[in-house]
Each structure stands twice: as C-alpha cells, then as structure tokens.
Amino acid sequence: MPEITENLWEPPQKEDKYALGGDVSEGLPHGDASVLEVISCSTGRQVYECYGAIPPFELAERAYLVGTYYNNALCAIENNKDGGCNRALFEMGYRSIYFQKDDRSKAYEEYTPKLGFNTNVRSRFKIIT
C-alpha cells in the first residue's frame, strides 16, 4: 500500500483561525489519494497537508486530530459520495464542520443539514476563486 505523506510547514498560531479542506477517496492503493489541507485564514498560506490511500473513516480521525490541533479549524470535507467521512467526524464530537449550502440561484444561500462540501458545476467555480 502506498505510504501516507504528511507535511507540517507551520504550527498553529494562538490567535489565528484555520480552514481545513479535504477530498475523500476510497482508500484503495490503486485509486485516487485522499487529501487534507489546512490554510491560515489570516495569511492565506498552506500550513499542513496530508495525502495518500487513506480510507474515509481513517481520514475522519486524522481530520479530527489536525482540526483540533489547528485551533478547531473549520472543516469542509467533500461529501460527493456518501458523506461517511463528515458523518464520522461529527459523531466523534467535532463541531466545527461546514454545512453544505443550497445554491439554486436564489437571492441568498441557505445552509442545509448536510455536512461537508459538494463539488459540482456550480460550486467548482467558487472553489477555484
């Protein structure tokens, strides 16, 4: 099985806020890699990265530890499949999780009860910008 790579470039700063984003794979050695990224909200710099063949529930455990370490970072993990990683993270007691918004070209967006972030045609532009 391919190894898991972690890079910690900057430790958390006491006064800073952080955002933790993730993309979940199935954790298979021949498939895509799972990834967690942490960004400093004050500087915009990437401070942490983890990637590899990490199954969804193991990724949730890592997100819990990393998110807690980075001042309870707001965590937005992609929920395109079954959302199991986000659900596991929530069941572990982590509460700083992004809730998906309903974006249907209304004058405003509404949060939904669905944990995580859905990548689709509408949201991809927001991610990139």
- Each residue of 95-105: pLDDT tens digit? 998 776 665 55
The first and second tokens of residue 7, run together, are: 């890079």
Output 129 or 25, whichever has higher pLDDT: 25
pTM recorded for the entire structure: 0.78
Q: Which pLDDT value is given to residue 86?
A: 84
- Each residue of 118-127: pLDDT tens digit? 655 565 566 5
Q: Picking from 9-23, 36-50, 53-67, 108-122, which range would have the lowest pLDDT averaged per residue?
A: 108-122
CA distances from 69 to 2, 9, 14, 17 (A): 25, 14, 10, 11
- Each residue of 103-117: pLDDT tens digit? 555 555 555 566 666
